[in-house]
Structure 1
Amino acid sequence: MRLQTLPTPLQWDIFCRVIDNFGDIGVCWRLSADLAARGQQVRLWVDDASALAWLAPQGHPGVQVRAWGSLPAAHEPPTQVLVEAFGCEIAPEFIANSARISSAKGEKYLWINLEYLSAEAYVERCHRLPSPVREGAALGEVKWFFYPGFTPATGGLLRENGLLERQAAFDTATWRAAQVPGTHGDAANACWISLFCYEPPALPALLQQCMQRPTRLLVTPGRATAATQAALKTLDQNDPQGSPDKRGQPSISYRKTCPQAAFDEMLWACDLNLVRGEDSLVRALWAGRPLAWQIYPQHDNAHHDKLHAFLDWLQAPESLRRFHATWNGLDNAPLVLPDKTLLAQWAACVQAARARLLAQDDLVTQILGFVQEKR
């Protein structure tokens, strides 16, 4: 598939507020790096860039990270494409500055509102719609809604050039051996599970089942680690005769923060990926391994419809739907950790979905085409 490029590189200004969990900055960094890899110049304006120290320690040529609230210097290129990620509401001062410079140069900038990922029907209806600005410094300007998505009528998913080639060259056995040197026997043949979650109520049940079969559980840092340790404590209290030392080692490995490429490799190496949020869901789909998604919980339970829409698009088998319902707290049914037969069914489902996605243009290809069309 031919990658979309622009005849002349443009200056992109991408805005990101880190709400929690670093998912927003993860998506915005992948977007920025992919645009830069295709010849664009990118300034990423972020209110908390601390996570980039481990997400992207090497940075990327063509991407400059800037502090939220500052403005480009007078000698720097003016905004040509403005990306407001996830409704972060760019500071009026920046909008006024961009409008003033563009007006002086007789050149309009394109303003894109990059929305959250969803498989719900409204995404196809709203993708690429204009939204006139009726007040403030940007009065008279137009924002354009750009929706990532899973179908050809949406903006697609982030997929950088060379991703599939890197994955094809990846050696799972070598990676696993490097994580647990000298591993033999049951541990070497264990079911490898990555755990990137919030605080699922079914986590103790998952851990209990992991203890009953050869399992290597890779727990990501932050909330997943805290939730796992709290769940283990609950199990200890309910089973005072148990052996927490045996539970924790060697079946559970607590991971450190890592660059995005290393996170991808962990997903490629596991037999089951339990992911959360937006960025990790997309990366788990590209991994083509069995997955379960813990969707970000909302107080009004709006995430229930969003989860069901995703499972419908995924064409998930009933066993995978049941797991998702319990894992996301939609019901109190017993959680059933999949055996090899179910994992094979789930893998076939994910790989079929990935094939559908690979037949579509990726998000950056589409957004570059959109910019060329509107400019």
Structure 2
Amino acid sequence: MQSQTQANHWDIFCAVVDNYGDIGVTWRLAKQLAKEYGLAVNLWVDDLASFGHILPKLDPKCASQNFEGVCIKHWDTPLTQEYQPGDVLIEAFACELPPEVLDQITALHRSGNQVPVWLNLEYLSAEDWVEGCHGLPSLQRSGLKKQFYFPGFTPKTGGLICEADLLQRRQAWQDNNERQAFFETLGLSGIQTDHTVISLFSYESDSLEALCRHWQQGDNQIHLLVPIGRSLNSLGAFVDPQGPLTPGSRYSHGKLTIHLLPMTDQQGYDRLLWSSDFNIVRGEDSFLRAQWAAKPFIWHIYPQEEDYHLIKLEAFMAFYCHNLAPEIASAWKKLNIGFNQGAQETLPSLWQQVDNAHSALTQHAQNWPNEALNDADLATRLVQFVKNS
């Protein structure tokens, strides 16, 4: 293996959790660092099979392969590929580095040699305490220093992942009216320009059945686009649970048509969000991409003990709604809380209130990305943070 010890060599370690969330974030970050900053990035991943769902060209049996300027390496146990210390070492979401890596950087430290800047990339949160914790060091038993890097929505945090040209690409997509052509590539038919298109990528929830029953009885034709995944576990009353749930299947119920889609790469998912009128998303990666899509959305946040996830949801909604008309902000907040709490009885009326405010919410969603970025995205701030370290 060729030694990589130059100053622009970074390593990112990611343990795949919940199939797509953690790897979605780290893959986007790795690609951006390689493309926009010319860095030699190694992305070490423990589950290549799951990674392959969002990178279809990936060979899950190949230990080392290159895509979009990033070297993807299989993180096995024990680690069979040689780790060469570079300038930066990122431990994504407290995944705990392999002992072989820790041994190497500890030996470098004890011999007085330069060690990589060691960062723990944390989960995104809008809570107040993030500003105070961002960048804090933690002295390890070995004497090494690890620093905590917190993404966030304010200038005093680590920022948000957003490629330099993303918003321009999205605007060009919409200006060129490429939605219908995109639907045709997915094999979708029957979607008229006056129909409402909703994308769904959520966890299991009783809220989905309540909304589907409301949509099927409504006045407007709704097309629900559902990539094969966990959302379908909550749609048994609307899809055939005994038959094969395969991409291309469609199920019609009154005014509601459900279309099943294949899992896609990240570019395809962005286009799905751009092409929909409303998006229901989950976790962190799709949640942030829904914001860059500039469309109204529901965030299905990952459930935590003692409903702590609702505190995180409230913190984000306070940021998102701070300059939104109070009555519209209230309706959107209640819909998000109701969806996350499974409030089946009240969801139809909450949905109707938000649907009535769709135009104003869309205008707000279009203004939000520039405000949320605070003039610098996560990769830009991360590179500067490393320089300052």
Shorter-chain TM-score category?
A: 0.7 to 0.9
Question: Residue deviations 1:345-367, cap 9 Å, x none?
Answer: 22233233322123331000001
Q: Is the 8 A contact 2:11 2:43 kept in 1?
A: yes
Question: Residue deviations 1:307-361, cap 9 Å, x none?
Answer: 1101111116011011011100165551133465311222233233322123331
Cα distance in structure 1, aligned partners of 2:165 and 2:19? 27
Cα distance in structure 2, aligned partners of 1:233 and 1:291? 23
Tell me what 1:11 maps to: 9
Residue 326 in 1 paired to residue 338 in 2? yes
Q: TM-score scaled by structure 2? A: 0.83
Residues 254-293 of structure 1 aligned to structure 2 (within 5 Å): 254-293=260-299
Tell me what 1:161 maps to: 164
Residue 205 in 1 paired to residue 217 in 2? no
Cα distance in structure 1, aligned partners of 2:237 and 2:150? 37
Q: Is the 8 A contact 1:42 1:62 kept in 2?
A: yes
Cα distance in structure 1, aligned partners of 2:356 and 2:255? 27
Question: Secondary structure at the residue paired with 2:25?
Answer: helix
The 10-residue stretch of structure 1 (252-261 or 353-362) with the greater mean CA deviation from structure 2:
353-362
How far does residue 249 in structure 1 lie from its aligned partner after superposition?
Answer: 9.7
Cα distance in structure 1, aligned partners of 2:188 and 2:88? 52
Question: Secondary structure at the residue paired with 2:279?
Answer: strand
Q: Is the 8 A contact 1:187 1:216 kept in 2?
A: no
How far does residue 159 in structure 1 lie from its aligned partner after superposition?
Answer: 0.8
Tell me what 2:3 maps to: none
Q: Is the 8 A contact 2:280 2:299 kept in 1?
A: yes
The 10-residue stretch of structure 1 (143-152 or 197-206) with the greater mean CA deviation from structure 2:
197-206
Tell me what 1:107 maps to: 114
Tell me what 1:224 maps to: 231
Question: Secondary structure at the residue paired with 2:315?
Answer: helix
Mark the runs of 5 or more structure 2 residues left unpaired by the alignment.
1-5, 58-66, 241-249
Amino acid at match of 1:359: N
Residue 43 in 1 paired to residue 42 in 2? yes
Residue 92 in 1 paired to residue 99 in 2? yes
Q: Is the 8 A contact 2:20 2:54 kept in 1?
A: no
How far does residue 43 in structure 1 lie from its aligned partner after superposition?
Answer: 1.2
Question: Residue deviations 1:280-328, cap 9 Å, x none?
Answer: 0110111111111000001321101111101111116011011011100
Which one of 316, 320, 323 corresponds to residue 314 of structure 1? Answer: 320
Cα distance in structure 2, aligned partners of 1:131 and 1:50? 33
Q: Go from structure 1 to structure 2 and tell me whether the alpha carbon gap of 1:373 and 1:325 turns closer, same or farther (over 3 Å shift).
A: same
Q: Is the 8 A contact 2:270 2:293 kept in 1?
A: yes
Tell me what 2:152 maps to: 149
How far does residue 67 in structure 1 lie from its aligned partner after superposition?
Answer: 2.2
Amino acid at match of 2:48: A
Question: Secondary structure at the residue paired with 1:111?
Answer: strand
Q: Is the 8 A contact 2:183 2:189 kept in 1?
A: no
Amino acid at match of 1:19: V
Residue 62 in 1 paired to residue 67 in 2? no
Q: Is the 8 A contact 2:251 2:257 kept in 1?
A: no
Question: Residue deviations 1:52-100, cap 9 Å, x none?
Answer: 3242345222333232332553xx7423211011111112221112332
Question: Residue deviations 1:106-161, cap 9 Å, x none?
Answer: 2121100110011111111100111111x2xxx10111010001111111111112
Residue 349 in 1 paired to residue 364 in 2? yes
Tell me what 1:176 maps to: 180
Q: Is the 8 A contact 1:57 1:259 kept in 2?
A: yes
Question: Residue deviations 1:173-222, cap 9 Å, x none?
Answer: 433344257956x7442111000111122111111122123011101221
Residue 295 in 1 paired to residue 293 in 2? no
Q: Is the 8 A contact 1:277 1:294 kept in 2?
A: yes
Question: Secondary structure at the residue paired with 2:384?
Answer: helix
Q: Go from structure 1 to structure 2 and tell me whether the alpha carbon gap of 1:249 and 1:43 turns closer, same or farther (over 3 Å shift).
A: farther
Mark the runs of 5 or more structure 1 residues left unpaired by the alignment.
1-7, 235-243
Tell me what 2:61 maps to: none
Residue 123 in 1 paired to residue 127 in 2? no
Tell me what 1:238 maps to: none
Tell me what 1:191 maps to: 196
Amino acid at match of 1:63: C
The 10-residue stretch of structure 1 (40-49 or 273-282) with the greater mean CA deviation from structure 2:
40-49
**Alignment RMSD, CA only?**
2.6
Q: TM-score scaled by structure 1? A: 0.86
The 10-residue stretch of structure 1 (353-362 or 294-303) with the greater mean CA deviation from structure 2:
353-362
The 4+ residue runs of structure 1 with deviation greater than 3 A are 101-105, 171-174, 180-184, 330-333, 338-341
Question: Residue deviations 1:210-249, cap 9 Å, x none?
Answer: 2123011101221012322x24269xxxxxxxxx953299
Amino acid at match of 2:9: Q
Question: Secondary structure at the residue paired with 1:170?
Answer: helix
